[in-house]
Structure 1
């Protein structure tokens, strides 16, 4: 992990992540990453496989397009509408390009 903080959860339980943390997971390990208050910046390396994405990947595989412009800065909700300008939960303005 390169910056921020968070938690990695696997079948073995949760593990706190801080800057400089290195974690090796065996192939096929089910995992979930949760960002801390300052966010989470991490790097992952894989052998010849499509990239990981938030939500579903495209039909061709690989990482889905960036959706940060649809994430509410107030509550973190992802807008489901491509053309949304305000959050449907808290009504905050969504980021602009």
Structure 2
């Protein structure tokens, strides 16, 4: 869902302009949101990635480790438990959490489910490399 926006980029060569991207209250107002990504940042040339994610009641994101990216997670609606190496932390509407790179984390939604926003640095896209470019990534002697 995208909010009406009057901040489109100007003519070629002009500096980019701020833009309204999403009305999260409008996303949540539907009341019958599906599970998964409800919105994602997709603007070209961006340096960030962001997603609004809905997990249904008792749903989960399995415990995993993100080796490269710090992530900010803001709970927009509902409740969840953040599973960490040192225990569980309660997440509720309005709680902003930092998930540092290298940390193990999982999420278990509460009885009403949970909807949250994540923001992190954009991962570079895959690039086609010339033949032999991957040789530097092979173990020695391979």
TM-score between the two structures when normalised by the length of structure 1? 0.48
Higher RCO (CA 8 Å, separation ≥ 6 residues): 2
Structure 2 length as normaliser, TM-score?
Answer: 0.34
Q: Report the structure number with the largest CA radius of gyration.
A: 2
Higher helix share: 2
